[in-house]
Structures are given as C-alpha cells and as structure tokens.
Amino acid sequence: MSSLGRRAFPVIASIAVSLAGCTDDRGTPAPPVAGAVPTALAGLPSGRAAVAETTATPVQAVRAGSTLDLAPASVELQSGHAYWVRLPDEWLPVASDQSDPQRSTVVVEEDGVALAPGNVPLATVQTVGRGSYLHWGGWLYFSSSDNTDPRSNGRQYRIVLAPG
C-alpha cells in the first residue's frame, strides 16, 4: 500500500463506519437517538415528526370531497421532478405515513384532470415524475404531467380527497 493509501485508509474507514452507524464493532445496533422516529422511506419525514410540527390542539380532519387549490407561490422544488407543498394541518390525519403508507386517498388534479399514479415512492416522483405524487405526513410531493415546473407552467393544481 502506498503512503497515501496508508494515510487515507483510516480516514475513509472512519467515514464509512460513521455513515453506516448501524452497528458497533460487536455487531450491536446503535442506540436510538432520543425522540427520533425512524423513517421507513428515505427522504420522507415520519408521520410523527410531521405531527410534532403542528399545534397541540386536536385537528379536525378534512372529509371526502374536500379540495385545496395549490398556489404556485406555496410550491417549492424538492428534487429532480418532485415539487412539494406543506399542507394545512387538516390534511394530516388522512395522510400516508409509516403506520399506513397507503392511507391517503388524495388525488392531485392538473387543470381539472387527475394526475397518476398516486401513493408512489418519493424516488419515483423525483426521477420519473410524469404526474406521479405522494401525500406523506404534512406534505404533498408531486410532479406535473410533462415534468415542467408547476410554479410557472400556467396550469392550476388542486388536491381532492377521494372517498376512502
């Protein structure tokens, strides 16, 4: 091994162990971080974390048929083709989360036409887009039908809670 390799190996090994963080040298799982809730799907906030962001007052859930127009100013680029918007607290009880990844019956409409597919993994929204979306916790992750920027493509976006 070269002198550079001998100097770099401990640093690289240390970084790899730090990033993995799943076991110590005896194979024991790392202790949980106090108050942390593991997120089953990479890149998504957990349902409990989303609840913690809300007020302590009980929230009345939206009902089937409820709608919400998405203002372009409220939409932000998340990653790739995925855009996201924070939804009002009333939408949280009907959102998918770790305990029920398929709970949400939200339908995203683009100029009155339903987008699809819904309840897909975030990676699908980010990399494929084409109208895919995910209602997870207090957030809606979505893409336009043609992967254009929904903040500036001139289309109107609305979410509708379909009957469960």
pTM of model > 0.75: no
pLDDT band at 164 (very low <50, low <70, confident <90, very high): confident
CA distances from residue 107 to 115, 122, 137, 139, 148 in whole angstroms, order as listed: 7, 16, 15, 14, 19
CB atoms within 10 A of CB 80: 15
What is the model's pLDDT at position 70? 98
pLDDT band at 108 (very low <50, low <70, confident <90, very high): very high
What is the model's pLDDT at position 103? 96
pLDDT band at 58 (very low <50, low <70, confident <90, very high): confident
Which 3 state secondary structure label does DSSP give 123?
helix
Q: Which residues contact 113 (CB under 8 A, 6 or more apart)?
A: 145
pLDDT band at 2 (very low <50, low <70, confident <90, very high): low
| 140 within 8 A of 87, measured Cβ to Cβ | yes
pLDDT above 90: residue 46: no
What is the model's pLDDT at position 135? 98
**pLDDT tens track for 62-100:** 999 999 999 999 999 999 999 999 999 999 999 999 999
CA dist., res. 90 & res. 60, Å (int): 6
CA dist., res. 121 & res. 12, Å (int): 31
CA dist., res. 46 & res. 53, Å (int): 11
What is the model's pLDDT at position 3? 52
CB atoms within 10 A of CB 98: 17
